[in-house]
Amino acid sequence: MRAMLLRRNAPIAERPLDLVEIPDPEPGPGEVRVRVRACAICRTDLHVIEGDLPPRRLPLVPGHQIVGVVDRLGPDARTLAVGDRIGIAWLRGTCGSCEFCRSGSENLCERSRYTGWHEDGGYAEMAVVPEDFAYKIPDAFADHRAAPLLCAGIIGYRALRRSGLPAGGRLGLFGFGSSAHVVLQIARHRRSEVYVATRGESHRELARSMGASWVGGAFDVPPVPLDAAIVFAPAGEIVPPALRSLRKGGTVALAGIYMTPVPPLDYEECLFHEKSLRSVEANTRADGEELLREAAEIPLRPEVTTFPLEDANEALCRLKEDRIDGTGVLVVSGSASASGGAPEASPRCGPPGPRG
């Protein structure tokens, strides 16, 4: 099969992913193999490729927002069938027996394993997954619009829950990439006001077009006190203004798997009045199932820019440089949509820009 293979950690500007032919994977006990149709790209992929997250294996096929069709069952796989359209997300395995797994917090399992980090992911024509960690994809979504829901959507959904946003409350989003543009749609569906602070005029324009009540620069404080806020930008210096934007008793949730150092916090300005600061780690399968259900009911519509598999380096460069509005999606094989239609075309990335 064709795959984009990472042999060494390096800045994405060096184009470290190579298009290669590697053997087709075979599903093990309790696993299924999918023929990948689409795989969304993610900042976590950048952290894996560039080494911000310590490598778990090399060489590696990245990618963890995968939509495809089951084409082979491993021994003892019984809940899925050949032909099922499924999604593969970041969390791909837990021990099932520790205190966290038993208490409904499997995302904190110390033996958890992840797609596109511990095991090969979806920047390839085929991928395997334990069937217990696969998601049935609602018919409401074409392949390339379902893919962003499998990380951007799930993590955004968990971050929204962790923020404690009350019904109809005011929510701040700091950073407006893939997850944030999904959360905005969920929050507005729940009749909340959404305030967006982000760098990049195209991101601000997208937020306005999607119904944000206010849009400002990355370090701007919204004009009204917020009930809750989510920091999506992987920049620690965003945390103090996010905390300053809260009303008394409000909560800031930090949604990223990686963040630059958070500067010292002024206690009175940032934390007094019973403000809370909470982190988010991965997701549970229940998060994914609930997100897909609500997304289909809304119906939620991710904004996507599509790329062919071989342009993965270019797509990730554009993501690094904040030149993708919404989510970038690699179209890998087969139809890009559930109805057989073609995905939107997208321009190729230009020459590499500065790192950072």
* Residue 338 maps to a domain: no
Q: Domain check: are 93 and 134 in the same one? A: yes
Return the closest-CA partner of residue 35 out of 112, 124, 111, 107. Answer: 124
* pLDDT tens digits along 110-156: 999 999 999 999 999 999 999 999 999 999 999 999 999 999 999 99
CA 333 to chain centre: 21
**CATH of residue 182:** 3.40.50.720
Q: Domain check: are 99 and 177 in the same one? A: no
Overall domain count for the chain: 2
Give the pLDDT of residue 62. Answer: 98
Q: Domain check: are 255 and 312 in the same one? A: no
Given a cut of 80, is residue 345 above it in pLDDT? Answer: no
* pLDDT tens digits along 223-237: 999 999 999 999 999
Final residue belonging to a domain, choices 238, 258, 279: 279
Q: Give the lowest-confidence range in 240-244, 310-314, 338-342.
A: 338-342
Give the pLDDT of residue 154. Answer: 96
Q: Domain check: are 101 and 189 in the same one? A: no
What residue numbers bound the domain in which 74 lies? 2-148+283-331
* pLDDT tens digits along 238-274: 999 999 999 999 999 999 888 999 999 999 999 999 9
Give the pLDDT of residue 333. Answer: 80
Q: Domain check: are 268 and 289 in the same one? A: no
Q: Domain check: are 73 and 179 in the same one? A: no
* Residue 345 maps to a domain: no
* Residue 291 maps to a domain: yes
* pLDDT tens digits along 62-119: 999 999 999 999 999 999 999 999 999 999 999 999 999 999 999 999 999 999 999 9
Q: Domain check: are 202 and 104 in the same one? A: no
Looking at this protein, which amino acid is placed at residue 45? D
Give the pLDDT of residue 351. Answer: 37
* Residue 122 maps to a domain: yes
| Confidence band of 336 (pLDDT split at 50, 70, 90) | very low
Cα separation, 334 vs 136, whole angstroms: 18
Give the pLDDT of residue 334. Answer: 57
* Residue 352 maps to a domain: no
Taking the model in full, what pTM does it have?
A: 0.88
* Residue 356 maps to a domain: no
Q: Domain check: are 313 and 275 in the same one? A: no
Does residue 198 sit in helix, strand or coil?
coil
* Residue 274 maps to a domain: yes
Return the closest-CA partner of residue 6 out of 65, 46, 66, 52. Answer: 46
Give the pLDDT of residue 346. Answer: 41
Give the pLDDT of residue 200. Answer: 87
Given a cut of 60, is residue 350 above it in pLDDT? Answer: no
Given a cut of 60, is residue 213 above it in pLDDT? Answer: yes
Given a cut of 70, is residue 294 above it in pLDDT? Answer: yes
Q: Domain check: are 95 and 185 in the same one? A: no
Q: What is the DSSP string of 155-189?
A: HHHHHHHHTTPPTT-EEEEES-SHHHHHHHHHHHH
* Residue 341 maps to a domain: no
Q: Domain check: are 116 and 159 in the same one? A: no
> CA dist 312 to 150, 176, 302, 317, Å?
18, 21, 19, 9
Q: Domain check: are 72 and 129 in the same one? A: yes
Contact yes or no for 151/282 (Cβ under 8 A): no
**CATH of residue 15:** 3.90.180.10
Give the pLDDT of residue 189. Answer: 96
Q: Domain check: are 106 and 196 in the same one? A: no
